[in-house]
């Protein structure tokens, strides 16, 4: 399986720790696969009420990319901003401690927190 780094030619923008919601908490009923195209929503409405195309790439505990099997209920994910034109907005708001959600449409699938900024300020903006 090719990583988003290989596909995009740049490093992840930032890294989050995440915890998925269970089916009982209105999360997924079926396990999610690697490279599921969840979008990202900030937890702070003062930042934004919009949904952004920022996709997670799930990591194993050793930091390597998960290559097969379902996405674990909690762990780490590298995040990739898909629309470079939105990068300037996220450069102003993404920093360690910022909380958000992986979403499918209006439904929250997981809560996450930024733990590290990686390539956000060096990746292409156009």
Mind listing the pLDDT tens digit for each residue in 55-89? 999 999 999 999 988 899 999 999 999 998 999 99
Assess contact for 72 and 27: CB atoms under 8 A. no
Check pLDDT > 90 for residue 30: no
Q: Which residue has the higher pLDDT, 61 or 99?
A: 99
Contact between 102 and 56 under an 8 Å Cβ cutoff? The reply is: yes
Measured CA distances, 97 to 3, 4, 25, 28, 31 (Å) = 25, 24, 23, 25, 27
Q: For residue 97, give the nearest of 43, 57, 59 by alpha carbon.
A: 43
Checking if the pLDDT of 113 tops 90, the result is yes
Boundaries of every domain in the chain: 4-117
Q: pLDDT over 70 for what percent of the chain? A: 99
Domain 4-117 has what CATH class? mainly beta
Q: Give me the residue label for tokens 């952004």.
A: 52
């Amino acid at each position: 399986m090719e990583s988003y780094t290989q596909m995009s030619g740049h490093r992840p923008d930032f890294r989050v720790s995440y915890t998925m919601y269970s089916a009982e908490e209105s999360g997924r009923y079926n396990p999610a696969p690697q490279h599921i195209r969840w979008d990202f929503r900030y937890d702070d409405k003062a930042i934004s009420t919009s949904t952004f195309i920022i996709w997670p790439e799930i990591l194993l505990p050793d930091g390597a990319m998960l290559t097969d099997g379902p996405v674990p209920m909690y762990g780490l994910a590298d995040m990739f901003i898909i629309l470079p034109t939105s990068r300037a907005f996220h450069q102003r708001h993404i920093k360690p401690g910022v909380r958000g959600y992986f979403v499918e449409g209006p439904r929250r699938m997981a809560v996450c927190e930024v733990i590290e900024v990686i390539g956000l300020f060096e990746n292409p903006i156009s």
